[in-house]
């Protein structure tokens, strides 16, 4: 059961560590995070931007698989 005190906006709190973490999951470096944070963007905005990012590592691997499959045709 969810405690009533956790329902609402308190469940959506995002802090610097959280926005930094989701950017790292998307493949961004600490330096890139620091530069983005230095622009004055809020942690909430950084979180949203991370959600809209394309994970380069995943796209790269998909490209390799497509290339390998294409070479067999």
- What is the rounded CA–CA span in Å between residue 5 and residue 73? 59
Q: pTM for the full model?
A: 0.55
pLDDT tens for 27-65 read 888 999 899 989 998 888 888 888 888 888 888 999 999
CA distances, 62 to each of 19, 22, 52, 72 (Å) = 26, 21, 18, 16
Using a CB cutoff of 8 Å and minimum separation of 24, what contacts does 2-6 make? none
């Amino acid at each position: 059961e969810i405690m009533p005190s956790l329902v609402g906006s308190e469940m959506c709190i995002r802090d610097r560590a959280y926005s930094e973490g989701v950017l790292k999951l998307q493949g961004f470096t600490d330096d890139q995070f620091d530069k983005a944070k230095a622009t004055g963007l809020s942690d909430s905005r950084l979180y949203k931007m991370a959600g809209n990012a394309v994970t380069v590592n995943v796209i790269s691997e998909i490209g390799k698989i497509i290339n390998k499959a294409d070479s067999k045709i």
